Amino acid sequence: MHFEALPTKRLPAQFTANNEFKLLDLILSNDIIDAEDEGGKGSLVQKIKTAALNERSAPELLEYKEELVDQIKQSLRSQKQRINGPFTEFQFEEKLFTSFQQMEIDRISYLLRSYLRSRIVKIEKHHSKFVSDETYHQRLSPSEQKFAQSYTDLIKSHYRESFLQSLPDRVNSGEEDAMTARINLDEYVICRVLERIGQIELDDQTDEFAELNENDVVLIRYRPIQHLLVEGKVELL
C-alpha cells in the first residue's frame, strides 16, 4: 500500500484500534472489482493480468479478449464514478479509502493499457501480415482492423513517396512486405503450467518429449505450447 498518498495532516488524534477495525471493514466490503467474479475462475483483475502477460510474451498476436476488455472498462467506469461522487461526510476513512481505490483503478488501467499497447506494437511490427492473412486478421478487434489497414497504407505510401517512386518500374515494388518482420513461432518463451498435461511432443522430427506438470515453470519453444496457451492450460511469464 502507498501511504505517501494519504493526507496525513487529517489524521485524527483519537485514531484508535476501534477505528482501525472500522477502516478494515470499509476496505474489505468495497472491493468492487474483485467482487464481480462470477465464473469462479479467478477475478477480472487476475484475468486481465494474465492476458496482458500472455500478449506481451507471445511472439504472435493472440485472440482479442473483447468481453474481458469491455467488462474491465465497465468496472473502471463505475468505480471512478463512485469515488468522484459527493462525499456524505468528509471523513478520514473515506478519504483514505478513496486513495486506495484510486490506486487500484490506476493499476488496473495500467494492465488494460499494457494489454492494448502490446497488441498495437505487434500490429505495427507485422502490419502487412494482418491485412493479407485471414487467420490473423480475424484476431483483431474492429478498431484494430481499421488501425492495421490505415497503418499499412500509410507505410506503403511513405516508402513510395519518399523513395520508391523514383526507381524504374521493374524494381520499385514488392519491398514493403520484405521490410516487415516475420512472425517467429519458434521463439523461446517462459511459461507456467497451470494443470497437469503430461508428455508433449517438442519436435516431430527428433521425437523429443517434455513432461509438463502442474506449476512447472519452463523455458520452451512457443510452437509446441501454442495450442495449450489457447486452451488456457499454460500461461506465459
* 128 in Cβ contact with 180 (< 8 Å): yes
Residues 67-106: x where in contact with other proteins by CB under 8 A, - otherwise, as a string: --x---x----------x--------------x--xx--x
Instruction: Round to whole Å and give the CA distance between 214 and 198.
Output: 9
Q: Is 47 left (phi over 0), alpha (psi -120 to 50) or beta?
A: alpha
Instruction: Round to whole Å and give the CA distance between 85 and 89.
Output: 12
Residues 50-69: x where in contact with other proteins by CB under 8 A, - otherwise, as a string: -------------------x
Q: Nearer to other proteins by C-beta: 117 or 196? A: 117
- Find residue 203's DSSP bridge partners: 208
Q: What is the dihedral of CA 120, 126, 131, 133, to 10 degrees?
A: -120
Residues between 127 and 186 with contacts to other proteins, criterion CB under 8 A: 141, 143-144, 146-147, 150-151, 154-155, 158-159, 161-163, 166-168, 170-171, 175, 178-179
Q: Residue numbers of the site for other proteins (CB under 8 A)?
A: 2, 4-5, 69, 73, 84, 99, 102-103, 106-107, 109-114, 116-117, 120, 124, 141, 143-144, 146-147, 150-151, 154-155, 158-159, 161-163, 166-168, 170-171, 175, 178-179
